[in-house]
Amino acid sequence: MKTNVMKTGSMNTTGTIEVIEKTTPFQGYFRIDRYRFRHSLFNGGLSGEITREVFERGHAAAVLPFDPKTGEIILIEQFRAGALAASMPPWLLEVIAGIIEENETPENMSHREAQEEAGCHLGRLKKIGTFLMTPGGSSETITLFCGETLQQEQRSSYGLEEEGEDIRTHKMKAEEAFLLLSEGAITNAITAIALQWLELNQKQLVKEWQ
């Protein structure tokens, strides 16, 4: 099976991929697919046969709540086993995020997860972009938004008990979060992207939402 793909971006070049075989050696809560393929080379011709496993966990969305009236954002804090396995502090400051369910849009998921993880009711959403998280081994994308904070229900913790979630929220001025990022206290990649975007676009966003 041959598939022609267009590489978008400044290069705007066309390449060819020849998929020889696709199998699924593992299917559980997540899935692992194995691909055997060749692809065109920049200097011409095709590569040798390559085998790669791809971790399939679905696609996600994330949202950074922002109040344009007060200049405050909301970050969540929760335990992450992956950070523990990487020998990093396992309680992370993050944006709100979750897996997009079947027949659910990234926008709807952002509103749903904001209420589940932070008791936060959002208004307008501003799309920041869609990003591949670990394209060397996973197909997962995250569609990232900045969301207008309308109201937050104050509780000591948030999250769904049946999913083992134990989440607390941190409301702070956006500038405080920018400082945390510059000091290396933000180690979650999508959170870093969201904060950097807001730092560059805060004035325009406030003007737009007012």
- List active site positions: 163
Can you read off the two tokens belonging to residue 82?
């992956």
Alpha helices in 38-91 (DSSP H): 81-85
Distance in angstroms (rounded) separating the CA atoms of residues 116 and 119 = 6
CA angle 59, 76, 108 (to 5 degrees): 40
> 91-113 burial by CB neighbour count: b if 16+ within 10 A, else e?
ebbbbbbbebeeeeebbebbbbb
* 132, amino acid identity: L
Indicate the DSSP class of residue 148: E
How does 159-192 read in b/e, with b if 16+ C-beta sit within 10 Å? Answer: beeeeeeebebebeebeebbebbeeeebbbebbe
